[in-house]
Amino acid sequence: MVVTPAVQAAIDQHAAAVRDILTLSPGRVGPVELAGYAQGVEDGAFRRGWRPGADLSTDWVGLRLAAACGLATASAGDVTATIQ
């Protein structure tokens, strides 16, 4: 999948929101916590009938999951890293 600059900007915004949400929680924020967050987002979305789509630019859940995965990949344990 090609990630356009507009989609990357949306992923970056979602990543900032995910970092903000997780840093409000006590304790460590690392890949395990990001995976748990992503699983919760996906579970909730599936219960509401969401299915992965081809157009990431209009898929809030897909953007949020891409952001969480990007944060986990960017740095194992340092969620202040930016997604490249």
Inside any domain, residue 10: yes
Query: Is residue 81 one of the residues assigned to a domain?
Result: no
How many domains is the chain partitioned into structurally? 1
In a domain, 79, yes or no: no
Residue 84 in domain: no
Contact 13, 7 (CB under 8 A): no
For each of the chain's 84 residues, which pLDDT tens digit applies? 678 999 999 999 999 999 999 888 887 778 888 999 999 999 999 999 999 987 888 899 999 999 999 998 886 545 444 443
pTM of the entire structure?
A: 0.82
Distances (CA, A) of 51 to 10, 27, 43, 47: 19, 32, 11, 10
Structural domain including 36 reads: 5-74
